[in-house]
Amino acid sequence: MTVSTSPSGAPPAARRTLVSRAIESATHRSIPVLVVLAIIWAIFYSQSSAYLSFQNLTNLTLQIVTTAILALGVVFVLLVGEIDLSSAVLSGVCAAVAAGLVVNSGLPLTVGIAAAVLAGMAVTFIEAQVIMFGVPSLIVTLGGMVILQGLILVVLPPEFTISVAATPFAKIASTTIPAGMSYALAAAGTVAFAAYRLFQRREQVSTGSSASVAAVVVPSLVIAAALFGGVFTLTRQRGLPMPLLILAVMLLIAWYATTQTRYGIHLYAVGGDREAAQRAGIPVRRMVLYSFLVLGACAAVAGMVDASRQLGVSVTSGSGPLMLNAIAAAVVGGTSLFGGRGSIWSALLGALVIGSISNGVQLLGLSTEVQYFATGSVLIVAVAADVALARGSLLPGRR
C-alpha cells in the first residue's frame, strides 16, 4: 500500500470519513518505512541505473515473495504479543512434505499443497498449546525450531534432497499470467475496491452520516494507479509471476480479516491489553491459537513457493537468514514486537526494504558484509524512526 494523503487536505475530525481514516491509519505507521525504502532505492539507483529497470524490479519482487509471505504470518503472531522463531524451518518441513507427496509418491499437486498446509497448521497448533500452558513463546518456538531441524531430516528421503525440476510442483513458481489477463485482474481489483468503498459510503449515508463522493473516487484512483503500474512493471518480461499473485491474494484476505471484521478488532485487542480483552469476553487463548494457525499456513505456502523457485527441497530449506529476515521485515514495516500495533502491509513493505538491500548489494557486486551491515542498520533506524514519530520528538523519551 503505497498510498499517502496529505494531512492538510484531510477534512475536519467530525466529518472525517471511514475511508480517509482507513488510509491515514494504514499509512501513518508506513511513512518511515516508505521514506527508508525511497532512500535505499535512490542510493542504489545513483550507483547503477539498472537497479530500477523493469527486469530488476521483477527480480526484486520475486526475491521477496518468500520473506513477505512468512512475514505475513509473523505479523499475526506479533499482533497478539507473541513471537515465533520456528516458522522458517517449518516452511522447509512443509515443502518437504509437499514435494515428497507430489514428486516421490506421484500424488496430485492439490493433495500435496493441502497436506503441507495441514502439516504447518498442526505444528503451530501444538506450539500454541504449549504456549497456552504457560511456556513463553520465545522458548517454545526456539525449541520448536531445533526439533523441526531434526524433523526435516526425517521427512526427507535418505539422500536428503528432493528435486522438483520438471514436475507439477515447479509450476507454482514458473507459471506466469499473460499481460492481458494481468490487466484484466488489475481492472477487476480496481472495480471491486471501488464497489466496496461505494457500498461502505451507502451504508453511512443510509444511517444519516455525511460521506463525500471523493472518499470513494480518490482512493479508487490511487489503487488503480498502483495496480496498473505494478502490472505494467511486472509484465515487461514474461507476464505476472504466479508467486506474486499468491502473495497479493494472501495480503488481500489478511487485510480484510484484520481491518474489516470482528476477528480483526479482537486480534488487536488481545495484543493491546490481554486482561481487558479477557474481561470483554474475548477468547484470548483462542485468538492466540488462531494467530499461530495463520502462521502455520503462511509458513507452508512460503515453503512451497520457495521450493518451487529453488527447484528443490533440501536440509538447508528454510535455514539461513529467512527467519530473521521475516521477523525484521515485520518490525521494519512497523509492527510492534509488543503486540497490538502494526498492519499486515508491514510484511510487504519490510520485505521490500530488506529485499531491496540484498538485491542492490548483489547487483553492484559488493561484498556480503555490506549487506549485513546495511540490513542491520536499517532495522534499527526504521524502528528508531517509528519510535520518534510515535513520540513526536527526536528528544529521548522519559521512559
Partner 1 sequence: MAVDSEPQFSDPSHDGSSQGIPLLELTKVSKYFGGVRALHEVDISVREGEVVALVGDNGAGKSTLVKIVSGVESPSAGEVRVGGETVRLDSPRDAAEAGIHTVFQDLSLCDNLDAVQNLFLGRERHGRLWSGRRVRRHLMEEEALRVLTSLSVKLRSLTTPVAALSGGQRQGIAICRALISDPAVVLLDEPTAALGVSQRGEVLDLIHRLREQGRGVVVISHDMKDVRQVADRVVVLRLGSRVAEFRRGAYTPSDLVSAMTGAAEPTND
Rg (CA), the chain: 21
The x, y and z cell numbers of residue 329, run together, are 521485515
Cβ-based nearer residue to partner 1, 183 or 255: 255
The reply on whether position 388 binds partner 1 by CB under 8 A is: no
Cβ-based nearer residue to partner 1, 265 or 389: 265
Query: DSSP of 274-294, one letter per residue?
Result: HHHHHHTT--HHHHHHHHHHH
Beta bridge partners of 314: 161
The reply on whether position 47 binds partner 1 by CB under 8 A is: no
Please measure the distance between the N-terminal and C-terminal CA atoms of the chain and give it in whole angstroms.
32
Cβ-based nearer residue to partner 1, 21 or 236: 21
Cβ-based nearer residue to partner 1, 266 or 309: 266
* Contact set for partner 1, span 168-207 (CB under 8 A): 200, 203-204, 207
Question: In this structure, what are the phi and psi dihedrals at residue 106, rounded to the nearest 5 degrees?
Answer: 70, 20
Residue 255 and residue 186 in contact, taking contact as beta carbons nearer than 8 Å: no
Residue 115 and residue 103 in contact, taking contact as beta carbons nearer than 8 Å: no
Shortest Cβ distance from residue 266 to partner 1 (Å)? 8
The four Cα atoms 71, 73, 74, 78 give a dihedral, to 10 degrees, of 130
Cβ-based nearer residue to partner 1, 59 or 204: 204
Contact pick of 168, 239, 272, 321 for partner 1 (by CB under 8 A):
272
* Contact set for partner 1, span 331-360 (CB under 8 A): 340-341
The reply on whether position 143 binds partner 1 by CB under 8 A is: no
Residue 333, classed as helix, strand or coil, is coil
* Contact set for partner 1, span 274-303 (CB under 8 A): 275-282
Contact pick of 25, 55, 210, 377 for partner 1 (by CB under 8 A):
25
The four Cα atoms 234, 20, 25, 375 give a dihedral, to 10 degrees, of 30
Cβ-based nearer residue to partner 1, 142 or 265: 265
Shortest Cβ distance from residue 281 to partner 1 (Å)? 4
Distance CA 372, CA 368 (A): 7
- Which residues are near partner 1 by CB under 8 A? 13, 16, 18, 21, 25, 200, 203-204, 207-209, 256-257, 260-266, 268-269, 271-273, 275-282, 340-341
